[in-house]
Amino acid sequence: MSARVDVAVVGGGIVGLASAFRLLEARPDLEVVVLEREAEVGQGQSSRNSGVLHAGLYYPPGSAKARWCTAGKRELERFCADHDVPVARTGKVVAAVRRDELPRLQGLADRAHTNGVEVERLGPTGVLDHEPNLRALAGLWSPSTAVTDFGAVCRALAERVRRDGGAVRTGTEVVGIEQHPDHVRLTTTSGDVEARTVVACAGLQADRLARLAGTGGRERIVPFRGSWLRLRDDRTDLVKGSIYPVPQPGLPFLGVHLTRRIDGQVWIGPNAVLALAREGRGPWSLNPGDLRDTLRFPGLYRLARREFGTAVAEVWRDRVVRATVREVQRYVPDVGLADVCRGPWGVRAQLMEPTGDLVDDFRLRRDGRLLHVLNAPSPAATASLAIGAELRDQVLAQL
């Protein structure tokens, strides 16, 4: 016998949990279940990230990222305050260290202004007020950038979903999806579930879930690993908040940054190299199926042709710690090789078009009674409650 619910959410990462929370907040009468294949919620990207609550200055005005990042950050800060999840407004300096970065820094300031995000232009001495060890030609100060522990946010969301009458079933992998006129049948590793509507928030498996439902488009998730270095504990005083480079045009990644985390550690990274597995135990884990899928995707070769130099530099810095330290010394000259050790890593779910274009904005797709979150890269953790609100509205319109 299968369990019957109104809404089944596939994926207990921050986006899936935020959607379930939002649904129950609006309609406590609904039966909502979150199905998560791992033994705990939030074990994927949602707890392997920089932990930055982005203010929203980078994103093209009018894009879903621009709208949902600012709204989502506000709501997440409120949620954290209400649920005893620590948040620290440590602020961030985006630093220009080369002359050719100055026009791009100005472009970023203009964009922040259009997005309604507070930033302040800084000269070479102004940056020292915020980051005394930073050497830069100019900077942008974002006072509202904050840090938190998104893994703790996931646990608090799961707790709220349960308290509000929903269910969170861990150790439950969805392995089959059948659409019927009045319901969707999910085959899972712990029994079938019949739902009036399904919201799929499967992160690194988003494209596969869509294909499982028979509606996959031509785009694919291409996994990019990001690894960090860590400042040794007795050197963390070199950084007060976050120091980011001016982002490279044409790429959705923000570049290697220094971030003081909520627990006081300072992480340097993440870089971006092609991952050999979507999920794995170590940074070099290899999953033959994942690798085959990536290598068979024509978009990868088109991107590689366009960004060959960047890809080689990223792999070089990934392997040679000294190369990353040299890069960091352009911003904080006092960071030496002896001050860092290798840190953790995480894998980004990045949607790519067959043309090789990396999909920059969030992408949701409706397919009958299924709603797929196909692309939820950074700042989706920051924006999770706003993405959840959008998913809630789409689900309620259908029920």
Which residues make up the interface to ligand FAD (CB under 6 A)? 10-16, 35-38, 43-46, 48-52, 54, 173-174, 201-205, 226, 270, 346-348, 376-382
Q: How far is the CB of 261 from ligand FAD (least distance, A)?
A: 10
Q: What HEC string does 102-151 produce? A: HHHHHHHHHHHHHCCCCCEEECCCHHHHHCCCCCCCEEEEECCCEEECHH
Q: How far is the CB of 77 from ligand FAD (least distance, A)?
A: 13
Residue 55 near residue 73 (C-beta atoms within 8 A):
yes
Q: What distances in angstroms separate CA 252 from CA 3, 11, 58, 315, 395, one per listed residue?
A: 40, 24, 10, 17, 29
Question: In the bound complex, which residue of the shown chain has the CB atom lying closest to ligand FAD?
Answer: 13
Tokens of 257: 């940054």
Q: How far is the CB of 286 from ligand FAD (least distance, A)?
A: 18
Q: How far is the CB of 100 from ligand FAD (least distance, A)?
A: 26
Residue 344's SS3 state is strand
Contacts of residue 331, Cβ cutoff 8 Å, sequence gap at least 6:
95, 97, 134, 135, 136, 243, 245, 258
Please, which residue, 49 or 90, has the CB nearer to ligand FAD? 49
Q: How far is the CB of 191 from ligand FAD (least distance, A)?
A: 13
Please, which residue, 91 or 226, has the CB nearer to ligand FAD? 226
Please, which residue, 135 or 162, has the CB nearer to ligand FAD? 162
Q: Which residue is associated with the tokens 């033959």?
A: 288
Please, which residue, 130 or 208, has the CB nearer to ligand FAD? 208
Q: How far is the CB of 93 from ligand FAD (least distance, A)?
A: 16
DSSP H or E segment with residue 83: none
Q: How far is the CB of 225 from ligand FAD (least distance, A)?
A: 8
Residue 243 near residue 92 (C-beta atoms within 8 A):
yes
Residue 129, phi then psi, degrees to nearest 5: -65, -30
Residue 380 near residue 348 (C-beta atoms within 8 A):
no
Please, which residue, 16 or 356, has the CB nearer to ligand FAD? 16
Please, which residue, 204 or 332, has the CB nearer to ligand FAD? 204
Please, which residue, 51 or 356, has the CB nearer to ligand FAD? 51
